[in-house]
Amino acid sequence: MSTRTVYYIEGDGIGPEVWAAARPVLNAALEKAYAGANKLDWKELLAGGKAFKETGEYLPQVTLDTLSNADLAMKGPLQTPVGKGFRSLNVTMRQTFDLYACIRPIKYFKGIESPVKRPDLVDIVVFRENTEDVYAGIEWSSNSPEAKRVIEFLVDEMGAKIDSSAGIGIKPITPAGSKRLVRRALDFALEQNRESVTLVHKGNIMKYTEGGFLKWGYELAAEDYAGKVVRDGEEGEGKVIINDRIADAMFQELLMRPEKYSVLATTNLNGDYLSDALAAQVGGLGLAPGVNMGDKLAIYEPTHGTAPTIAGKDMANPGSLILSGAMLLEHIGWNEAADLIKNSVEKSLAAKKVTVDLSSQISGAATVGCKEFGEIILANL
């Protein structure tokens, strides 16, 4: 018998609703697959609005201390309080625990009527660098003393041409940060027998940041993956092809030729855009799972936000959180339970009784609430 501890954060907005619908599905899948031999021990941690109500803090130290010694966690969406000292609760957690890889598998489920002609060709895993780039949060507002000081230095010392009223942001991208992200993508492609890893960048314009990401990714492949990875167009034996695409061209490629791509490794901002755009091709964020992962801790979470306009109305789609749970089960090797969940989601979509975000995309579908959709997925296990 194996029991794994999973710390969970309920989240804000629709978080409590999707949790109430999702957790029974995960527990039931484990029971069906292993008859009690494998279990998850759920332990709640506080963050966001619920934490503030109970402790007066949005991100209590006990939560940070517990997660610093954990390996598995799940969380609902968190709303960052305005003017309360945090740029973003989500980004703070990623940076605090060095969760440098945001991993999002995007694959079509039968039954979804997509805005593109061949959504079934989409089977792509996005590895998005999670701690650097413009998300590092190094910026100063227009006309602030800090911005003026930086501008003065750049103009006087570096010869830059910048309007004195500009807001200023810094975009750090490092060799170490880039290489560890690309390493995860390459290792995944090799382990899962994926055909290629595509480095997505804007290095034609931002030559020393985005271009650095590209350069360092290729360097890593050449130095550490000889005989395993080969560059596109080069001769040699290799199980995985590594190539690259400029970010704006990549959007067109994913719309017109998604079958040519298998794994994407991207800088932070590009990965944010691309993974959301891919999700839209296969049903939207309601069915888009994800994980923010470091070398020790992995936090699985839905890719949608708190959706405050529908919070408490039993309208939210719990699918993203349920499928994130399936990712967690795969990560710890409990693939039988994960497969039960994914098959049940597809069977539930075929029955055409779905939440409003999906019923608007499926002809003849009936709209059900968050709770009922979770119950349908549970029954279809």
Query: Which of these is catalytic: 244, 272, 300, 342?
Result: 272
Tell me whether residue 193 is annotated as binding.
no
| HSE-CB for 4 with a 13 A CA cutoff | 16
The whole-angstrom separation of Cα 302 and Cα 325 is 9
Tell me whether residue 133 is annotated as binding.
no
272 catalytic residue (yes or no): yes
Tell me whether residue 317 is annotated as binding.
yes
135 catalytic residue (yes or no): yes
Tell me whether residue 118 is annotated as binding.
no
Which residues, including other chains, have CB under 8 Å from residue 307's CB and lie 6 or more apart? 13, 14, 77, 316
Tell me whether residue 180 is annotated as binding.
no
Q: What are phi and psi of 379, to 5 degrees?
A: -65, -30
Nearest Cα to Cα of residue 380 among 331, 356, 346: 346
Tell me whether residue 194 is annotated as binding.
no
Query: Which of these is catalytic: 65, 232, 248, 295?
Result: 248
276 catalytic residue (yes or no): no
Beta carbons of 278 and 84 less than 8 angstroms apart: no
Task: Tell me the DSSP string of 290-318.
Answer: -EEE-SS-EEE--SS---TTTTTTT----
Report the first-to-last Cα separation within the chain, whole angstroms.
Answer: 22
CA distances from 356 to 293, 312, 361, 372 (A): 31, 14, 9, 12
Q: List the beta bridge partners of residue 199.
A: 244, 265
Query: Which of these is catalytic: 171, 179, 202, 342?
Result: 202
Query: Which of these is catalytic: 7, 58, 108, 135?
Result: 135
Q: Tokens representing 169?
A: 């942001």
How many residues are given for the chain?
Answer: 381
41 catalytic residue (yes or no): no
Q: What is the CA radius of gyration of the chain?
A: 22
Tell me whether residue 295 is annotated as binding.
no
The catalytic site residues sit at 135, 202, 248, 272
| Numbered residues of the known binding site for Mg(2+) | 272
| Numbered residues of the known binding site | 88, 90, 94, 104, 128, 272, 317
| Numbered residues of the known binding site for D-threo-isocitrate | 88, 90, 94, 104, 128
| Numbered residues of the known binding site for NADP(+) | 317
